[in-house]
Every structure is written in C-alpha cells, then in structure tokens.
Copies of this chain bind each other. A is one copy, B any other.
Amino acid sequence: MSRPTKSDRGSETRELILVTAERLFAEHGVEAVSNRQVSEAAGQSNNSAVSYHFGTKEDLVLAIVRRHYEPVERRRTEMLAEITGSPDLRDWMSCLVRPITEHLASLGSPSWYARFLAQVTTHPSWRELVSKEAVSARSMQQTIEGTFRLVPRLPEEVLQERSYMGRLLLVHMCAERERALHEGTARPRSTWESTAAGLVDALVGVWLAPVTARR
C-alpha cells in the first residue's frame, strides 16, 4: 500500500466532516450547531476546518445533500424509464418515494440523512435552499410533470399545498422510520419497503382527494 497523499487526507477529512455534521444537524437542528462545533466533533484540531474545506454553513448543508443525491437520482432515472407514459399515479408516486427509501435502506442503521432532512425542512430558509437543489434534478422534474398530468385540474393554491403536503409526509415518515430503526422500536412500519408502500398509498390519496368547493 502506498502512503496516503496529502489529497487523500484532504478528502478523508472532508468525508469525516460531512458525516459528523449530518449527525449533529439531525440530532440538534441546523441552527443549533456551529461550524466550530462540527470541527471539534470531527476531531479537527483546527477550529476553522469546516470553513477551510467547505466555506459557509450553507455550502456544508448543500454538500451533505449532494452526497446522497447521485444514487437517488440514478435510481429514479432507472425507475422512470420503466414507467414511461404510465397512466397510473401510483407508479409516479413510487418514483418519488422508492429511490429515497431504497437509498436509506442501503445506508444501514444508524443512518442520519432522513432526520437531517426533517430538521432542515422545519426551517423555511434551509428548506428553500435544499428543495431548490432537489427539484432541479432532471429525474425529479420528470416525476413532477408525470404526476401533474394525472391529477385532476386543481386550483393553483391546492396544487402548491398538496405538493408541500407530499414533501412533509415523505420527509417526516422516513425520519420517523429511521429513528425507530435506530432506537430498536419497530413502529410505525416494520420495513423500508412497507414504509414506501404506506407512503405511496397516502400520497395517491392526497392527490386524488376531492376538493371542497370554496366559500
């Protein structure tokens, strides 16, 4: 084995910082944790290691998101190819949900990514940053377009609202499952696959629910 080069050590440090920050943000929220605390918890003697390797806290949060992005995007692209033109909303909800639940399953336990996303989603400014990133993915765009083709004509505010409800359910149900797995309780569902099935059913229910006439 050759000696690790300076650039190997740099990328190991980056990785260590990413993993540490993800866990701390998942446990305490993004606002509650400083770059300095992340550097310390990652065992860096230099308190400005985060700034050196990533820049601002925004850059760090985006780097955590992008780390999980590629496998999710790849899986969703595969799944979309299998359902081209499907008239079944369930297929499109599956393309939304399963790339994420399968990725989370592949991480083993404890993972922190779902709880990290739940924390990020609870604060409007962080949520906007991350959802802009997520929605810009080509596979996500196609999934949204496929969904909108199949839902009944909805007033714009209802469309926005149900998109938001879908994100809420997806993020928080995955976070709850990840936490239950970590803590050794089996609630609310016993496998990632049954979590996905429950989410797909519920999202189809939300999208197809009749809209009460407005007063």
Contacts and interface: CB of A to CB of B under 8 A. Distances in A.
A97 B210 CA distance: 17
Given A32-B28, A124-B179, A194-B157, A201 B212 contact: yes
- Copy total for this chain: 2
Interface string A9-32: 000000000000000000011011
Interface stretch (A51-59, A98-106, A167-175): A167-175
Nearest to A212: B197
Nearest to A90: B212
Interface of A: 28-29, 31-32, 90, 118-119, 122, 124, 157-158, 160-162, 164-165, 168-169, 172-173, 176, 179, 187-190, 193-194, 197-198, 200-202, 204-212, 214-215
A147 to B, nearest CB: 15
B28 A31 contact: yes
A36 to B, nearest CB: 17
A204 B212 CA distance: 11
Given A122-B122, A168-B172, A162 B28 contact: no
Q: Which of A124, A176, A212 is the most central at the interface, judged by chain B CB atoms within 10 Å of its CB?
A: A212
Contacts of A179: 124
Contact of A157 (B161, B190, B207, B209): B190
